[in-house]
Amino acid sequence: MGVETNSIARNLDRVRKHIAAAAERAGRKVEEITLVAISKTFPAQSIREACNAGVRHFGENRVQEWESKRPSLEDLPATWHLVGHLQSNKAARAAQLFHTIDSVDSLHLARKIEDAQKAAARVQPVGAAGAGSENRRLPVLIQVHLGGEESKSGVEEADLFSVAQAILELPHLELRGLMCLPPYAEDPEQARPYFRRLRELQEDLRRRLRGSHHLEATLPELSMGMSHDFEVAIEEGATQVRLGTALFGSRKTK
Ligand SMILES: *Cc1c(COP(=O)(O)O)cnc(C)c1O
């Protein structure tokens, strides 16, 4: 176990240096960038080790897998992200199990999550812990399907504005930004146009939302970049990088 602990801590150290270097190249502050450790397929113990080493954000891509790990990790001071495709019949469970859903890929799904949040807010007992918990908004990101991406998930660019507007009308969700998942390429430079595009879409969306009087919609987050291309993503404006392999090692293929 000592060895394991060391290697996650060492990986974290190395990753943080790369994040800092990429931020510096881009003239950005390192505090603008949140490391989200993607712990799918790794045991709860690995998550605990990463948390002990200082990681505070974790992402999983399957509701069921996270449901089985979470009970043993309730004590950790961490924020739990869902980063994978969510089936709408699992929206209610996801809303209970995660602090943020970073992969909302349709308005239909957003509405299911809204319904779940609304129902949960209703059953909160009066005077329940946490002031204002009766109107808790669940943070979400829209996963965008960028042109040329092979993955089928995500809101089409052409629909982004109307979907964002509709989500902003949902009182139990808080739209925080955008997420993308470009196709894997050996050369991380090949992901750069996708990251740049997501940043452009963010700026465009902010402008159009301001024009339609959604003045509160600053959409600060851009979740983009994985283990092999996070440095490029940071250069292009990522505020959240999602790192699995770089922290935990390679995953066993199923
Ligand atoms: C698995 C996964 C990651 C992390 O991938 P690595 O290449 O191991 O860093 C990031 N984002 C999503 C959505 C994932 O499913």
Segment 187-210, tens digit of pLDDT:
999 999 999 999 999 999 999 999
**Protein residue whose Cα sits closest to atom 4 of ligand 1:** 244
Give the amino acid at 206.
R
Contact yes or no for 88/108 (Cβ under 8 A)? yes
Give the pLDDT of residue 162: 97
Q: Whose CA is nearest to atom 11 of ligand 1?
A: 242
For 28-84, what is each residue's pLDDT tens digit? Answer: 999 999 999 999 999 999 999 999 999 999 999 999 999 999 999 999 999 999 999
Whole-angstrom distance, CA of residue 155 vs CA of residue 198:
12
Residue 191 alpha carbon to ligand 1 centre in Å? 14
State which ligand 1 atom lies nearest to the alpha carbon of 245: 8
Q: What pLDDT, on the 0 to 100 scale, is given for residue 147? A: 77
pLDDT value of residue 125: 62
Q: The tokens of 234 are what?
A: 């940071």
What is the best residue among 65, 81, 83 to mutate for testing ligand 1's pocket, by most ligand atoms within 8 Å of CB?
Answer: 83
Distance 244 CA to ligand 1 centre (A): 6
Structure confidence at residue 123 (pLDDT): 74
pLDDT surpassing 90 at residue 155: yes
Question: Which of 39, 226, 245 for mutating ligand 1's site (highest number of atoms within 8 Å of CB)?
Answer: 226
Q: Report the distance separating Cα 53 and Cα 35, nearest Å.
A: 13
Instruction: Give the CA distances from residue 179 to residues 49, 72, 77, 109, in Å, rounded to whole numbers and listed in that order.
Output: 27, 29, 24, 15
Ligand 1 residue neighbourhood (C-beta within 6 Å): 38, 40, 61, 83-84, 181, 226-227, 242-246
Q: Give residue 242 CA to ligand 1 midpoint distance, Å.
A: 6
Helix (H), strand (E) at residue 6: helix 2-25
Atom number of ligand 1 nearest to Cα 179: 13
Q: What is the mean pLDDT of residues 172-201?
A: 96
Q: Which atom of ligand 1 is nearest to the CA of 251?
A: 8
132 alpha carbon to ligand 1 midpoint, in Å? 34
* Residue corresponding to tokens 């897998």: 65
Nearest CA to ligand 1 atom 5: 244
Instruction: Share the mean pLDDT of the chain.
Output: 92
DSSP helix/strand/coil, 212: coil
Give the residue from 123, 104, 126, 124 showing the smallest Cα distance to 114.
Answer: 104
Give the H or E element holding residue 136: none
Question: Rounded to an integer, what distance in angstroms lies between the CA atom of residue 133 and that of residue 127?
Answer: 9
